[in-house]
Amino acid sequence: MPKLTIVNRAGDEKSVDARAGVSVMEVIRDNGFDELLALCGGCCSCATCHVYVDEEWTGVVGAAGEDENDLLDSSDHRGERSRLSCQIMMTADLDGLRVAIAPQD
């Protein structure tokens, strides 16, 4: 089972087990990180599951799609490593992925 490390807004981090085939957003939400709102439930229609992917993982995770980019453009906190966590699916290749929850807009 792949591991995901989540850094909350206070800078505290926790590594959790993540089932392959579920989104990073679901893993974060299911592990009690309430500050990640994920209001649309993973439908890629809001930007409330915004995270920053650690630099070493950006190539593995891949680039945001067009719809995701449009939503990220609405965030005052968008950066080079910004992604919507609902659009990153956990796989064995992402074992050890580290993401930080972005500030709330």
Cα radius of gyration (the chain) = 12
Task: Determine what percent of the chain is predicted with pLDDT higher than 90.
Answer: 99
Per the structure, the count of domains in the chain is 1
pLDDT, position 11: 97
Q: Give the list of residues 6+ apart from residue 85 with CB closer than 8 angstroms, or none.
A: 23, 24, 25, 28, 36, 38, 49, 50, 51, 99
pLDDT, position 21: 96
Q: Give the rounded distance of the alpha carbon of 47 from its chain centre.
A: 11
pLDDT digits (tens, 9 = 90+) for 73-105: 999 999 999 999 999 999 999 999 999 999 998
- For 97, the domain range is 3-101
β strands within the chain, DSSP E: 3-7, 13-17, 50-53, 82-84, 97-101
**Are 44 and 84 a contacting pair, CB within 8 Å?**
yes
pLDDT, position 104: 93
Domain CATH for 71? 3.10.20.30
The stretch 60-82 carries a mean pLDDT of: 96
pLDDT, position 45: 93
| pTM exceeds cut of 0.85 | yes
Rounded to whole angstroms, how far apart are CA atoms 36 and 27?
Answer: 11
Q: Average pLDDT over the chain, rounded to whole? A: 96
